[in-house]
């Protein structure tokens, strides 16, 4: 492990451009539950059953209850040392650094990361299903929140299964991965596409891929260096 950690640090030190992909695992140590694995179920539903446009059409109250539960932590949940290590990495690399996150919790921004691409949207934002209005809301929302302008139902401004990613944000993520020589992948099970496809893309472009994860994932066997452990432990060590 020590040797792999040294090797990872060396790759980052010598990198021209670094892209990072994060998933729910980096926020686990802030108390945000991950989607899969232990504690990954919500009231007996698989996340795929809750986070879809079909589920929202069928039972918007249930879907909003799921997201209101997660929104409840918006003002109280704090970033952890893993998030802060990435802020420090960005401080050193400046515009040679891009952070792509699948997380909708906003914790990278709260930690102070600046070059952040939220490819799955953000739970702090709502979007009107009628007029398309978007706004940041930190207040407690009812189970069926309505638009102040047109009275249509609001939805969380996040990407659900079966929906496309925000085109402009995704395009920037592809550019960042295309240009990087080191791709750091943290706390993602690497099963949700197209995000997980960025790992294959980076390898095809001959970038080195460093994975930090508590367990083995779908990507572990293809990455350049796999570091197994908590992101809150490993990231500060690599950056140090
Ligand atoms: P998952 O819940 O699928 O995976 C979390 C990963 O984090 C697992 O591989 C864990 O082993 C790892 N992990 C847990 N705790 C960790 C820790 N302390 N340090 C390091 N790793 C840890 O979450 P994602 O891969 O982010 O999509 O899921 C991808 C997408 O699926 C999400 O963005 C979401 C979900 O449906 C949308 O909302 C569109």
> Could you list the active site residues?
120
The stretch 56-75 carries a mean pLDDT of: 90
Q: What average pLDDT does the structure give for the chain?
A: 94
**CB-ligand 1 contact for 48 (6 Å cutoff):** no
240 versus 46: the higher-pLDDT residue is: 240
| 202-207, Cβ contacts within 8 angstroms, sequence gap of 24 or more | 202/19, 202/177, 205/177, 205/178, 205/180, 206/181, 207/19, 207/177, 207/180, 207/181, 207/182, 207/183
Name which residue sits closest to atom 19 of ligand 1, judged by CA: 230
| pLDDT tens digit sequence for 109-146 | 999 999 999 999 999 999 999 999 999 999 989 999 99
Residue 41 above 70 pLDDT?
no
Residue 34 above 90 pLDDT?
no
- Is-above-0.85 flag for pTM? yes
Per the CB < 8 A criterion, the answer to whether 209 and 185 are in contact is: yes
Cα-to-centroid distance, 34 and ligand 1 (Å): 5
- Which pLDDT score, from 0 to 100, does residue 40 have? 57
Residue 175 above 70 pLDDT?
yes
Length, in residues, of the chain: 240
- Spatial distance between the Cα atoms of 77 and 197, rounded to a whole number of angstroms: 29
């Amino acid at each position: 492990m020590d040797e792999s950690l040294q090797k990872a640090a060396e790759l980052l030190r010598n990198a021209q451009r670094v892209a990072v992909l994060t998933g729910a695992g980096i926020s686990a140590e802030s108390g945000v539950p991950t989607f899969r694995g232990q504690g990954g179920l919500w009231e007996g539903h698989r996340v795929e059953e809750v986070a879809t446009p079909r589920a929202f059409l069928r039972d918007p109250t249930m879907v909003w209850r799921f997201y209101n539960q997660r929104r409840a932590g918006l003002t109280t949940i704090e970033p952890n040392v893993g998030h802060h290590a990435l802020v420090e990495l960005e401080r050193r690399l400046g515009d040679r650094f891009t952070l792509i996150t699948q997380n909708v919790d906003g914790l990278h921004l709260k930690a102070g990361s600046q070059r952040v691409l939220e490819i799955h949207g953000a739970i702090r934002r709502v979007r009107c299903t009628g007029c398309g209005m978007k706004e940041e809301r930190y207040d407690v929302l009812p189970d069926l929140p309505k638009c102040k302008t047109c009275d249509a139902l609001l939805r969380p401004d996040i990407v659900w299964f079966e929906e496309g990613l925000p085109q402009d944000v995704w395009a920037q993520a592809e550019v960042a991965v295309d240009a990087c020589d080191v791709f750091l992948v943290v706390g993602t099970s690497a099963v949700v596409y197209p995000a997980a496809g960025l790992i294959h893309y980076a390898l095809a472009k001959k970038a080195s891929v460093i994975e930090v994860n508590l367990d083995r994932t779908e990507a572990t066997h293809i990455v350049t260096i796999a570091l197994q452990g908590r992101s809150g432990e490993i990231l500060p060590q690599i950056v140090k």
